[in-house]
Amino acid sequence: MLRTLLHAKLHHLRVTQADKEYLGSLTIDEDLMDAVGIVTYEKILVANLDSAQRFETYAIPGPRGSRVACLNGGAAYMGSPGDRLIVMAFAQVDDAEIMNHCPKVVRLDENNTIIAKAY
C-alpha cells in the first residue's frame, strides 16, 4: 500500500509579488526549494495564513538568493504581498519506507530567510 505523506514544507513563506497575467503557479527562490526538496513543476498545496485560503498549484524556481515568492495567474487572487504562506509537498510512500520517512521542513522569517529547521 502507498500512503501520502508530507515530504516538504516552507513555513511562513512571505508573498513578495503577485502577477495576475502569468499563466499560473508559485515562483519560489530556488535556494528555498532546494532546502526542502521541492522540484520544478512539483504539485504543491498552499495555505495562506492571512486570508485563510487554500489552493493547489505547482512550483517554479525563482532566482537564487532573491527570496522571491510570487503568486502567478489565478493564484495571484489568493494572496497579496506580505501574506504568510505554508507551502507543502507530498510523496507516495510504501509501508517499508514509512518508519524512516522524515519530511524536510523549514521556518522562514519576514524576509524569507531560513531561521530554523522545524524537523
Please list the active-site residues. Answer: 25, 58
Which positions ≥6 away from 111 have C-beta within 8 Å? 14, 67
d(CA 119, CA 103): 7
d(CA 33, CA 40): 8
